[in-house]
Amino acid sequence: MDSEGRVDRVLRNSAEVLVREELEALLAREEHPRAYIGYEPSGSYTVGQLVTLAKVRDLAEAGFRVTVFLADWHAYINDKLGGSWERIRASGHQMEEVFRGLGIGEGVTFRWASELTGRGEYWERVIRVAKAMSLARAKRAITIMGRKEGEEEVDASKLFYPAMQVADIFELPVELAYAGMDQRRAHVLAREVAHHYGWPVPVALHTPLVSSLKGGGRMNMDDSGSLERKMSKSDPESGIPIPSSRELIEERLQKAFCPAKEVEGNPVLELARYVVLPWEGRLQVPRPARFGGDLDLPTEEALLTAWQTGGLHPVDLKKGVTEALDRIISPLRSSHPG
């Protein structure tokens, strides 16, 4: 893959990169630069996470050495799984099994936050990061934990979270930090801290978040960090768990918000664009002959054209996405029934 192809692979289906020129320079300079994405082990996964896993594959194929960071300490601070270390660690091991079962392995290393937190140098870095930001900035940044800014009854440990997430980037270390758009504040903060101390400035890459299947609300981050329309593990009806039976996938998608011809805030179309196309390379839509026969949509442009012109009906889009998600998830069912 040539340099231009590597850049295109990294950026496809992304929402933002900070900044493209830095990414291009990084890939021109390094054959195998380092990247990471962090996940809190929380005991459940949704098809929305396939967006980030597809990008992990893209990064590995573009030559990056990717670290999947199992953020056990961060999950503990964020009160995941009742704050049980035993459950958090078991969930982390299960997460690795699930990701490997989905084909995430080559060019990818799994590491635990505990590997860093056991070193004094790590906590020195955390303190230096914290000293480079105000208390108000730390409070605003807790939205990266899926919490609202100014949320009441938040214990003081949560103020450590943003500084730890920034410190992770420099202690691993990596040249590119990747996540969904909900982690943008942490990555912007990391870039600012890097400039403050003269540390290497990480490229920040963000992919879109998949909307709730229920529709409604707002997806764009507002000043409070609100993401009312995000597919959420805490609201089972808003998404599709991994793994799921074909019947559950079909049931959830049949009920999903999917207004004809509308692109913005359409969760079924987002699954087609950000999950099916990257994973399968095309969207195949089974359709009776009387309605034009099967559709084969090999690109996002072809998908959007068919959708916006009315050539692809919501019922048929849901069928195509159901078939694709069933194929993608099926390897997990034997080892993770449910």
In this predicted structure, what is the pLDDT of residue 224? 37
Domain boundaries, position 249: 236-333
The whole-number pLDDT of residue 231 equals 59
* C-alpha dihedral sign at 104, 108, 111, 116: negative
CATH number at residue 247: 1.10.240.10
Quick one: 188 and 41 in the same domain?
Answer: yes
Spatial distance between the Cα atoms of 331 and 333, rounded to a whole number of angstroms: 6
The predicted pLDDT at position 182 comes to: 93
Q: Along the 338 residues of the chain, how does pLDDT read in single tens digits?
A: 888 999 999 999 999 999 999 999 999 999 999 999 999 999 888 898 999 999 999 999 999 999 999 999 999 999 999 999 999 999 999 999 999 999 998 889 999 999 999 999 999 999 999 999 999 888 888 887 776 655 556 788 999 999 999 999 999 999 999 999 999 999 999 999 999 999 999 999 999 999 999 986 544 544 334 444 665 655 667 889 998 999 999 999 999 999 999 999 999 999 999 999 999 999 999 998 888 899 999 999 999 999 999 999 999 999 999 999 999 999 988 765 44
Does the predicted TM-score (pTM) go above 0.75? Answer: yes
pLDDT at 251: 96
Same domain, 83 and 178: yes
Residues 75 and 179 in one domain: yes
Is the N-terminal amide bond of 337 cis, ω within 30° of 0? Answer: no
Say if strands 108-112 and 16-18 run parallel, antiparallel, or are unpaired: unpaired
Considering the domain architecture, whether residues 171 and 276 belong to the same structural domain is answered as no
Let me know if residue 55 belongs to a domain. yes
**203 and 244, same domain (yes or no):** no
CB 241 within 8 A of CB 46: yes
Same domain, 258 and 184: no
- Residue 227 located in a structural domain: no
Claim to verify: residue 118 and residue 43 sit in the same structural domain: yes
Are residue 101 and residue 203 in the same domain, yes or no?
Answer: yes
What is the SS3 assignment for 76? helix
240 close to 186: Cβ distance less than 8 angstroms: no
- Cβ neighbour number for residue 102 with a 10 Å cutoff: 22
> Residue 90 has what DSSP assignment?
H
Number of domains present in the structure of the chain: 2
The CATH number linked to 174 is: 3.40.50.620
| Within-domain flag for 219 | no
Contact criterion met (CB below 8 Å) for 41 and 34: no
Q: Judge if 154 and 287 occupy the same domain.
A: no
pLDDT at 148: 61
The answer to whether residues 166 and 313 belong to one domain is no
The reply to whether 199 and 268 lie within a common domain is no
Residue whose C-alpha is closest to residue 235's, from 78, 39, 74, 44: 44
Q: For residues 192 and 279, state if they share a domain.
A: no
Give me the pLDDT at residue 106, please.
83
Q: What does the block give as tokens for 253?
A: 């998608």
